[in-house]
Amino acid sequence: MEPVPLAALFVAAIAVSLAVAWVCWQRRDGNSAATCLTLVMVGIALWSAADVVLLLDVGAGLRRASQPVAFLGAGAVVIGLWCLPRALADPSWRPSGRLRAALVVEPLTITVLTVLPATWPWIYGGTDLSAPAGQVELVVGPLFLAHAAYSYLMVLSALGLLVWRLRSSTTLARRQTGVLLLSVLPPFVGNAALTGLMADQGTVDLTPVLFVLTGVVAGYALLRMGLLRLVPVARSHAVDTMTDAVVVSDPAGRVLDLNPAARALLRRVRPTSTVDPLGATLAQVAGPDLATLLQSVAGRSGGRPTELLPGLWCDVRTTPVTDGRGRLLGRVSVLRDVSEERARHLAVEALNARLLAQLEVIERLQEELAEEAVRDHLTGLHNRRHLDRVLATMLLPDGAGSPVALLALDVDHFKAVNDRFGHAAGDQVLRGIAGALGRVTRPGDTVARLGGEEFVLVLPGADPAQAAARAESVRQGCAAVVHRIDGGSVQVTVSVGVAVRTGDEGPGELLAAADAALYVAKAEGRDRVVLGDGGRSGGDAPVEVLGASTPS
């Protein structure tokens, strides 16, 4: 081939390589694969530039000076290709300082040997650098062949990693790996063939031209397939960095893999165990209870919160792993520490229990306050407020319902008790009368203190005869009570006025009738029961004296 078209091919290789290198360099942040591919592309450009010099009519000195550049470019290509599959497998991979030093030793050595006059013949011993333009044929020596063998071993190891990744990767990663193999294999095979010719009779090194294909394919992968932008996350970063414990076990319950969080959890569960988890059974490393749990929850859609240790709660989820025929290959168990959530849940439950208890206390206090509001503080009987509410309910305006009797009761000569024995004794007598009234009441009756020494009993369903009989029982019961006071005892009597609803009388009318009957009882000599004639005639209604101890 004429030197000008051949030089044009090399210039094309330089342009394509530098363009791809620029795109890769722009995407290098957080992606070491981009840096590796940049190194490969820059190496191709240097290598191609050195070969362009061999094609030009520039003299033997400048042609010889271009060869160290060619070795630097070739070394960069080899190092970049060796690092690339590792960076693709783990985007965060970075070569250590020692590894970097080891990788540059051979390229720098061969470059220095190319510069030294004493070692030049061992590299290009039969090469005529003074030949006309386009006719320089490289004839290599033993040092070049040793360099080539080292480079092939490096590239072969990289190709081996790419082939392994091609077989074990997901669909996306498999496509990316296939593209890289497609771009690297032609230059590798072509360089091997050219090296054989250079060792035998000498030829022009066209390897950089073959690398044009590498640049074109890599550029397509970058721009159309998302290479370096859609690099799969490595397992070590997807699992090892998880805060949840992950344990992989086989069907027999032996641990196949686990992440650092799982190791820490197992040490916490069994701090005295010295068994290496890998290869051991779940029962050996986790204890029989946890091992049974990990295997029993397989296939459950949800986790099972379990207390592994006092205060250590874990949500355990186990997923079976099966092959295409449904045969069990193993289990993947994920244990999430939910101790804080559980503690908060228990705290909320305890708080709710305390709130419920407090609500019960508040309700009870409210009931007590409501009851106290309708109770007389001295006797404990209901007060006028409660009496009015009861009468308003029983004595409906339409007069419907069963009969209702009202007993108005007054303690006879109560002022004399206060004057003779004091108000404390009077209070004691009132409490005694209240107790006597409570003993003669029946379910449904209402007993109320209106104030002072006056009381009222409401007897629902009582007709006049029943009301009169109940009133006489009340009178006798109160008279029989012996009130113990300071300095001795005292007995008192009561006068009772009875009114029975005979029509549509309201509460006021019935109370007035009972008061009128009580007035008669007191006027007739006290200690007696007087039955009034309902509430229609008010205070002028006829009355009937039903019972008395002795005439006054």
**What does the pLDDT look like over 291-345, one tens digit per residue?**
888 877 554 445 667 888 888 888 888 888 887 777 887 888 888 888 888 888 8
pLDDT at 487 over 80: no
**What backbone phi and psi angles, to 5 degrees, belong to 490?**
-155, 150
Confidence of residue 92 (pLDDT cuts 50, 70, 90): low
Confidence tier at 128 by pLDDT (50, 70, 90): confident
Helix, strand, or coil here: 19? helix
Identify the three-state secondary structure at position 311.
coil
Q: Which residue has the higher pLDDT, 426 or 197?
A: 426
pLDDT computed for residue 219 by the predictor: 63
Torsion from C-alpha of 113, 118, 122, 124, nearest 10 degrees? 80
Identify the pLDDT of residue 107.
93
pLDDT at 64 (0 to 100): 86
Q: Which of 272, 295, 271 is nearest to 283 (CA)?
A: 295
Would you state the pLDDT for residue 519?
94
The per-residue pLDDT for range 491-513, each reduced to its tens digit, is: 999 999 999 987 778 888 899 99
The whole-number pLDDT of residue 512 equals 92
DSSP letter, residue 189: H
What pLDDT, on the 0 to 100 scale, is given for residue 172?
53
The CA distance from 395 to 124, in Å, is 131
- Of 69-73, 155-159, 203-207, 310-314, give the lowest mean pLDDT range: 203-207
Residue 453: name the closest of 420, 489, 478 by CA. Answer: 478
Is the pLDDT at 156 greater than 80? The verdict is yes
- List Cα–Cα distances, 464 to 267, 289, 363, 467, 548, in angstroms: 89, 81, 41, 5, 18
pLDDT at position 446: 92
Using the structure block, give the residue that is written with the tokens 């079976």: 320
453, 454, 472, 509: the active-site residue = 453
Select the highest-mean-pLDDT range: 98-112, 156-170, 195-209, 261-275: 98-112
Q: Which of 349-358, 394-403, 527-536 has the lowest mean pLDDT?
A: 394-403
pLDDT score, position 542: 47
Can you tell me which residue has the tokens 């530098």?
18
Q: What is the mean pLDDT of residues 417-423?
A: 89
CATH architecture group of domain 239-337:
2-Layer Sandwich (3.30)
Reduce the DSSP state of residue 300 to 3 states and report it: coil
User: In this structure, what DSSP letter does residue 526 have?
Assistant: S
Give the Å distances, CA to CA, from 333 to 240, 303, 311, 474, 519. Answer: 14, 10, 21, 82, 92
The residues pairing with 257 across neighbouring beta strands, listed in sequence order, are: 248
CATH topology of domain 384-548: Alpha-Beta Plaits (3.30.70)
What pLDDT shows up at residue 473? 92
Write the Ramachandran bin of 193: left for phi over 0, alpha for psi from -120 to 50, otherwise beta.
Answer: alpha
- Average pLDDT estimate for 122-134: 77
- The answer on pLDDT for 435 being more than 50 is yes
Q: Which of 546, 526, 525 is nearest to 405 (CA)?
A: 546
Q: Which of 195-209, 222-236, 472-486 has the lowest mean pLDDT?
A: 222-236
Burial state string for 248-276 with b = 16 or more CB within 10 A and e = fewer than 16: bbeeebbbeebbebbbebbeebbeeeeee
SS3 assignment, position 328: strand
Q: Domain ranges in the chain?
A: 3-235, 239-337, 384-548
State the pLDDT at residue 494: 94
Cut 0.85: pTM above it:
no
Average pLDDT for residues 181-207, to the nearest whole number? 65
Chain mean pLDDT for the chain: 81
pLDDT at 168 over 70: no
Q: Is the pLDDT of residue 380 over 80?
A: yes
For the chain, give the percent of residues with pLDDT over 70: 80
Distance between CA atoms of residues 149 and 192, nearest Å: 10
Q: What is the pLDDT of residue 551?
A: 45
Q: What is the mean pLDDT of residues 268-295?
A: 83
Q: Is the pLDDT of residue 544 over 90?
A: no
pLDDT, position 30:
63
User: What pLDDT sits at residue 203?
Assistant: 60
Check pLDDT > 90 for residue 58: no
* 2 catalytic per annotation: no
pLDDT band of residue 522 (cuts 50, 70, 90) is: very high
CA distance 436 to 491: 12
Determine the CATH number of domain 3-235.
1.20.1070.10
